[in-house]
Amino acid sequence: MKITKAQIWFTDFVIGILIFSFVLISYYTYTINISKQDTSAMDQLVTDIKTVSTSLTTEGFPSDWNANTVIRIGFTDNSNRIDNTKFDEFNKIDYNKTKKLLGTIYDYFLFFVNESGDVQNVEGYCGTGLGTVNVSLDINAAYYYENDDGEQFLKSYMVEEEFDAIPYCDGGPKCSDLSFTDFIAEINNYDFVVVEHPAWSTSDFNSFESVANPWLLGGGILFAGGQLPASNQHEAFGVEFNKKSGQSESDRLSTVVNEDEFISFNLADNIIFTQAYYIEDVSIGANLKDIARFNGSWIEFDDIKANGDISLARWPRGNGKMLFFSDFDADYLAGDFQTILEGSANKWANAACLPISLTGIDFNNLVKADRMVIHNSKLLKMVLYLWE
C-alpha cells in the first residue's frame, strides 16, 4: 500500500498533539502522595495541600503585594512563572504568619527540583518553610573578619547557619580563628568568600589582592563590605577604595539608584550605613552596576545619581564577580537590612543545593504535592510537603 505525504503529515500531527497534551497536563496538574494514613486527618491535609499549592502558584492578592501588604500569598504570574520579587517577599514573612495567610494549621516545606530530581537554588533558597528541615548548600566558603573586636555581622550566618564557612581573622591575640596567612594560602580552595571590614594594612591588602585577583579571574565570588584597605585612594580589582571624609548621618545616607536582581532594595529607598566607604570606577566601565550612592543630604532622588559616591555596587572580574557594600551594618528605612544582606549573600554565591532531608521531622501524617513552574525560563517541579 502506498503511503501518501498527507498521511505522513497527519500521523506526525497526531503525535505532536499527543506530546503537546501530555506536556500541558503535566504543566498544570499535580500529584499527591500520602504517607502514614489516618483517614480523618488525611482528608484535611489533602484539602489543605490542594489549597496551599494552588495559592502559591497564583499571583497572590493584592496583585502587587509585598511582605507588609500581602493578604493571600502567591508568587507566580498566574501562568506558573515564578515572580522573583514576590518569591523574595514570601521569604521575608514570618513562618507562622505564612501558615495563616496560606490558610493552614499544618507545617510545610517547599523546594524545587529539575527534571533529574536535583534540588535547585531559586533566588538564593534551596527550600523554604519550617526552619528545622535540613537544607544544605553545596559550596566551599570562607569568611574573613578583622578580629574579636571588629565587625562580625555576617559571621554567624556564614559559619553556623547557612554556608558552613571556614572563619579567618588577622592572626593577632584577639583572633579566635585561622590567621590571615592561612587565609591567603587557602583562598583557592573556596568558591565563595565574604570579607567583612578587615581594615588591612597596605602590605596585607596587597598580599590579599595578589592572590584574590587571579582567584576572581578564575571564577571566584567575592562579597566585601566595610573598610578593605586601611589606606585611602587604594586601587585594586578595577576600582579605587575610599573612606568619606565626613561620617555624620547625612554623610552616611545613601539612596538606591538601580534595582538589582541580587539585592532586594527598592528604587529610591534610603540606606544609612554605619560607616561610609565608597568606590570609584577605574577600569570597569559599563560593566560596573552602581546600586546605591551617597547623598550627602536629604535631596530628591533625581538629583543624586550623578553626584553621589558609589556605596554599593557589583561588577564582573574575569570569570568571577565582586559585590561591594559600604558597610554590613546599616539602617534600611524600608525593611530589615540584615535579612536583605543575608539573602544577597545567598543569591550572590549561587550555590548548588544538596538533597532535602525530612528525616529529622516528627510527623503523624504527611502529604506531598507537585506543581510544574517556570523559573528564569527553566521548567522546574515545585515540591510541597504538608504534615501534622
Give helix 95-102 / helix 39-56 axis angle, nearest 10°.
Answer: 100
Specify the DSSP element, H or E, that contains 111: strand 107-113
What is the pLDDT confidence band of residue 2, given thresholds at 50, 70 and 90? very low
228 pLDDT above the threshold of 90: yes
Dist CA 374 CA 77 (whole Å): 10
Q: What is the pLDDT of residue 32?
A: 56
CA 130 and chain centroid, separation: 18
Supply the pLDDT for residue 155. 97
More confident residue, 68 or 20: 68
CA 275-277-281 angle, to 5 degrees, is 165
**pLDDT in the model for residue 266:** 85
pLDDT > 60? residue 189: yes
Could you read off the pLDDT of 26-48 as tens digits, one per residue? 444 445 555 555 677 888 999 99
At residue 35, the pLDDT reads 54
8 pLDDT higher than 50:
no
Most confident of 291-300, 303-312, 335-344: 335-344
Rg for the chain (alpha carbons), in Å?
A: 25
pLDDT confidence band for 79 (50 / 70 / 90)? confident
Q: What is the pLDDT of residue 212?
A: 97
Bigger pLDDT: 215 vs 299: 215
Least Cα distance to 220 among 306, 349, 105, 346 occurs for 349
d(CA 351, CA 194): 14
pLDDT tens figures, 107-137? 999 999 999 999 999 988 999 999 878 788 8
Per-residue model confidence (pLDDT) at position 3: 46
User: Residue 50 pLDDT more than 90?
Assistant: yes
341 to 309, 331, 357: CA distances (angstroms): 20, 11, 26
Q: Which domains are delineated in the chain?
A: 19-125+354-387 (no CATH), 140-350 (3.40.50)
Does the pLDDT at position 187 exceed 90? yes
**Residue 196: strand pairing partners:** 145, 225
Chain segment 245-298, per-residue pLDDT in tens: 888 888 899 989 888 989 988 888 889 999 999 999 999 999 999 999 998 554
This prediction has a pTM of: 0.79
pLDDT at 306: 42
336 vs 5 pLDDT, higher one: 336
Classify residue 296 as left (phi > 0), alpha (psi -120 to 50) or beta. Answer: left
